[in-house]
């Protein structure tokens, strides 16, 4: 397994993250356990911020909180100077509760409810990324009723397909997200918004996909967006002060993945925007981006305890852990690949090839196929790396499993940032209608 961030193998031959022995963490907090390397999260934030500062351009780096949205993470994003993207009332609530400055919050989503729009207006967040006409008019009416004005970006689909897994491409024309540039609906959205005094047009937003390993898609999107901005300026007389090129910067899940240094994505994007807008003699806009996965992905490691195993002679050996698709649905959803190691015997030689199964009642509940490990035993601690993004945030209670705890480790200290769920968390919201309650047995 590739060791990310502060991860090392310590003198005891065990995995250590943020100066904390992984086996001790598993003992203390129980498994499954999400462990986050705080230093690495901060390093990733700084890589983006410093790359932008070096350009001298105006910018905002908004952490796409859907990748991992808990109060402690919102605080780190704030401390590192990032803005924050939310896509639901629950994420907005989490950010506000963590004290995140509302003016630096951006609200996304293709079906914001009337309640969510009210909540965003009441909180006076920085901007709403408008996705469709229904929302544009709902926002306008709601803002008018409240005597408020809201900044907006228009989410446009530039018709760029990023080279990535089909399920996570969103820049192409046939998608539920955004206004299409090609068919004129993006242009119409701006023209109609100009008539709405309670929305203030900031600019356009494009997000072309996820886990992208090359800069070409971003360059192409920048071209389409710049061309669109120029058309709008010429025909409607509006100059956008902001261009947002979204997130999707790839990370290294497995050995074969070859992501670019984060600064390289920033350089490509800023250079493209600078050149394109100069060509149109267009005032240089602020550039915003929205990394999610690349901020938290490789900072997360999930610890499991190994339990049962099953050997099918001539076929394979299944080794089961005490979590699975409930804490990491990505292998089942996207066929995502992960690396792992035995945290308690990290230096022992490889002795067997096993496939790691979760404990849920689904044949598809597999975490890793054909993983090379030392001879495994029940009680071993398995560490799966790169689980920081879209694991906790996509976790479920399938089979009524309790969602794991989350700890942040740094300089030898481990802090619980989400406690493990209890049975009360799992069943305590259930209600029994009177007619289904067990009647006391009558004495005869």
Tokens of 140: 């306008």
| Residue closer to ligand PLP (CB basis): 305 or 385 | 385
The span from the first CA to the last CA of the chain, in angstroms, equals: 67
**In the stretch 293-322, what mask flags binding to ligand PLP with x, by CB under 6 A?**
xx----------------------------
Query: Binding of ligand PLP at residue 246 (CB under 6 A)?
Result: yes
Tokens of 230: 């120029």
Element (H, E) at 45: helix 38-53
The piece of 61-69, 194-202, 367-375, 394-402 that touches ligand PLP (CB under 6 A) is 61-69
| Residue closer to ligand PLP (CB basis): 228 or 249 | 249
Tokens of 240: 């956008």
**Smallest separation (angstroms) from ligand PLP to the CB of 84:** 11
Which is catalytic among the residues 20, 127, 361, 386?
A: 361
Rounded CA-CA distance 204/274 in Å is 16
**Smallest separation (angstroms) from ligand PLP to the CB of 401:** 25
Question: Which DSSP category does 6 fall into?
Answer: T
Among 207, 224, 345, 410, binds ligand PLP (CB under 6 A): 207
Give yes or no: 361 in active site: yes
**Smallest separation (angstroms) from ligand PLP to the CB of 290:** 4
Rounded CA-CA distance 37/76 in Å is 12
**Smallest separation (angstroms) from ligand PLP to the CB of 385:** 17
Beta strand spans in 15-86 (E): 15-17, 20-21, 33-37, 59-64, 83-86
**Smallest separation (angstroms) from ligand PLP to the CB of 249:** 6
Among 32, 171, 203, 247, binds ligand PLP (CB under 6 A): 247
**In the stretch 382-421, what mask flags binding to ligand PLP with x, by CB under 6 A?**
-------x--------------------------------
Tokens of 34: 């999400």
| Residue closer to ligand PLP (CB basis): 170 or 376 | 170
**121 CB contacts (<8 Å, ≥6 apart)?**
142, 143, 146, 148, 150
Query: Binding of ligand PLP at residue 292 (CB under 6 A)?
Result: yes
| Residue closer to ligand PLP (CB basis): 217 or 358 | 217
Query: Binding of ligand PLP at residue 108 (CB under 6 A)?
Result: yes
Which is it for the CA torsion 44, 45, 48, 51, positive or negative? negative
Other beta carbons within 10 Å of 184: 11
**Smallest separation (angstroms) from ligand PLP to the CB of 129:** 7
Among 23, 64, 143, 196, binds ligand PLP (CB under 6 A): 64
Pair 177, 155: CB distance under 8 Å: yes
Q: What is the DSSP code string of 301-359?
A: EEEEEEEEEEEETTTEEEEEES--TTT--HHHHH-----EEETTSTTSPP-EEEEEE-S
Number of residues that bind ligand PLP (CB under 6 A): 17
Catalytic residues: 361
- The residue ranges that bind ligand PLP (CB under 6 A) are 64, 66-67, 85, 108, 207, 210, 246-249, 290-294, 389
């Amino acid at each position: 397994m590739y060791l990310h961030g502060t991860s090392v193998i310590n003198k005891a031959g065990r995995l250590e993250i943020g100066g904390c022995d992984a086996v001790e963490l598993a003992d203390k907090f129980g498994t499954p356990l999400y462990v986050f390397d705080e230093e690495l999260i901060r390093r990733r934030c700084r890589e983006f911020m410093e790359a932008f500062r070096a350009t001298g351009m105006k910018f905002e780096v908004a952490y796409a909180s859907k990748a991992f949205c808990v109060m402690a993470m919102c605080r780190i994003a704030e401390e590192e100077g990032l803005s924050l993207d939310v896509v639901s009332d629950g994420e907005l609530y989490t950010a506000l509760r963590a004290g995140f400055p509302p003016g630096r919050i951006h609200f996304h989503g293709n079906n914001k409810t009337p309640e969510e729009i009210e909540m965003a207006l009441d909180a006076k967040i920085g901007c709403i990324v408008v996705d469709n006409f229904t929302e544009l008019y709902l926002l306008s009416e709601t803002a008018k009723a409240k005597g408020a004005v809201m900044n907006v970006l228009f989410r446009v689909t530039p018709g760029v397909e990023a080279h990535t897994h089909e399920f996570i491409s969103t820049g192409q024309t046939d998608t539920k997200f955004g206004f299409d540039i090609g068919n004129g609906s993006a242009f119409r959205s701006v023209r109609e918004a100009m008539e709405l005094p309670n929305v203030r047009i900031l600019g356009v937003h494009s997000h072309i996909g996820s886990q992208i390993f090359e800069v070409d898609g971003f360059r192409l999107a920048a071209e389409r967006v710049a061309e669109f901005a120029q058309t709008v300026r010429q025909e409607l007389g509006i100059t956008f002060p902001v261009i947002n090129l979204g997130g999707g910067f790839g990370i290294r899940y497995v050995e074969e993945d070859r992501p670019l240094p984060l600064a390289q994505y920033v350089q490509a994007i800023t250079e493209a925007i600078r050149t394109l807008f100069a060509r149109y003699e267009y005032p240089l806009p602020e550039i915003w981006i929205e990394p999610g996965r690349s901020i938290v992905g490789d900072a997360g490691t999930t610890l499991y305890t190994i339990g049962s195993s099953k050997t099918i002679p001539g076929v394979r050996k299944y080794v089961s852990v005490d979590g699975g698709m409930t804490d990491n649905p990505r292998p089942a959803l996207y066929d995502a690949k992960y690396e792992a190691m035995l945290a308690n015997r990290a230096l022992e030689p490889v002795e067997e090839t096993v496939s790691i199964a979760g404990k849920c009642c689904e044949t598809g509940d597999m975490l890793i196929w054909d993983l090379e490990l030392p001879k495994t035993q029940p009680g071993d601690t398995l560490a799966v790396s790169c689980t920081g993004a879209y694991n906790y945030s996509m976790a479920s209670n399938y089979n009524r499993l309790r969602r794991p705890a989350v700890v942040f480790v740094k300089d030898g200290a481990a802090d619980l940032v989400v406690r493990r769920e209890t049975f009360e968390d799992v069943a305590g919201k259930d209600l029994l209608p009177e007619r289904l309650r067990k009647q006391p047995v009558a004495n005869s």
